[in-house]
Structure 1
């Protein structure tokens, strides 16, 4: 019974992600989520107290929906992670819905920077490793750079979504790195980094 409950909850989350991704929070209907999940109203409200609770859960699940690419921690793995995310945003409905809901928060009526802080922490971990390996210029502050990178990424992906439904997102993220590397990495390190938007990396595990 416990395993069945876990599976039902996941089905509801995935169905909700589809509905939120397609039309946003306001247009989403609980009845449509139930229909896609193949579950009852009682089952849905057993796991989630409201549509708002369901939206928050989807939003906060975005980080867990992505397995980071393999490789040693450092600047290359950070680049690989952002390019993997670019491809995941084209196909991963839970990630896409979580990102959309995070952007729509003020319109929905709640304020939670946890999704942004989680990604900033992921990026910070790779930047710390990069600094330890001598891959960053002197004076680069990893905490501030991690937050800046999250902000830049959010803006680029949103622009790409509006302009072409993220079809060009890997190329836009590659552009971001081509210019950012000039400012944060020594010339030889920047030259050694591989920024390839064409091939999505296989995630570890």
Structure 2
């Protein structure tokens, strides 16, 4: 494939994913249609199917991109970075169609995940890495089990975004995530470490 064709293919693929993200965010997996996604992208059904064989494939691709789109604007390590990742996700989810679609698709993953990796697994792996670093830095309590805590945090953040969707359209999601950390940190981290952590919502709202 020549360079111009490759560039065109990349743009077409991006247009399809953006259209699919908007459709999934608005209507969920079952409510979105391939025909509607193709119209939104300004493409024929044939062009869409050339890049993605099914609606399920589109949903899986959007879910797979979630982690890569969340990059905390401030440098940090260990426990602070785990906090920053969740605060950044919470702050950006309303402005990024891909993240918003991912948040909506959490509720529908049984329809398309097919036993493969889902968003819960991906975010758990991210937090396991940061919490393991925190453990090596002796930031966590001695009996803290990294995998268990990563799962608890992912479950809590997932529940927070679902509740925030119902009550405020997710506008207070960052505040809810900060509250999760405030409640859980005493059972997870050493007191002297907690004192030096920053749970400010602004950590995730700085310019990208």
TM-score in same-fold range (> 0.5): yes
What's the counterpart of residue 139 of structure 2?
135
Give the alignment partner of residue 31 of structure 1, picking from 13, 29, 35.
35
Q: Which runs of 4 or more aligned residues in structure 1 lie more than 6 Å from their structure 2 counterparts after TM superposition? A: none
Cα distance, 1:79 vs structure 2? 0.8
Displacement of 1:10 in angstroms is: 0.9
Matched, 1:148 2:149: no
| Displacement after TM superposition at 1:199 (Å) | 5.0
Match of 1:45 among 44, 49, 57: 49
- Are 1:190 and 2:194 an aligned pair? yes
Assess if the C-alpha contact under 8 Å between 2:84 and 2:203 holds in 1. no
1:78-117 aligned within 5 A: 78-106=82-110, 110-117=114-121
Cα distance, 1:76–1:199 mapped onto 2, change above 3 Å: closer
Asked if structure 2 preserves the Cα contact closer than 8 Å seen for 1:170 and 1:198, the reply is no
Aligned with 1:166: secondary structure?
A: coil
- Matched residues, number: 204
Query: How many Å apart are 1:30 and its aligned residue?
Result: 2.1
Q: Deviation per CA, 1:85-138, whole angstroms, max 9, x where unpaired?
A: 101112111011122213212356844443211111111111111111111111
1:59 aligns to 2:68 (yes or no): no
Q: Is the 8 A contact 2:73 2:204 kept in 1?
A: no
Give the Cα separation in 2 of the matches to 1:185 and 1:135: 6
Measured in 1, the distance between the counterparts of 2:140 and 2:11 equals 44
- Give, in angstroms, the shift of residue 27 of structure 1: 1.6
SS in 2 for 1:90: coil
In the alignment, is the contact (CA less than 8 A) between 1:26 and 1:108 conserved in 2?
Answer: no
Contact 1:84–1:201 at 8 Å: present in 2 too?
Answer: yes
Equivalence for 2:174? 170
Superposed CA RMSD: 1.9
Normalised to the residue count of structure 1, the TM-score between the two structures is: 0.91
1:122/1:147 Cα in 2 relative to 1: closer, same or farther (>3 Å)?
Answer: same
- Structure 2 residue runs of 5 or longer lacking an equivalent are none
- The structural deviation recorded for 1:65 is 2.5
Structure 1 CA distance, aligned partners of 2:176 and 2:106?
Answer: 21
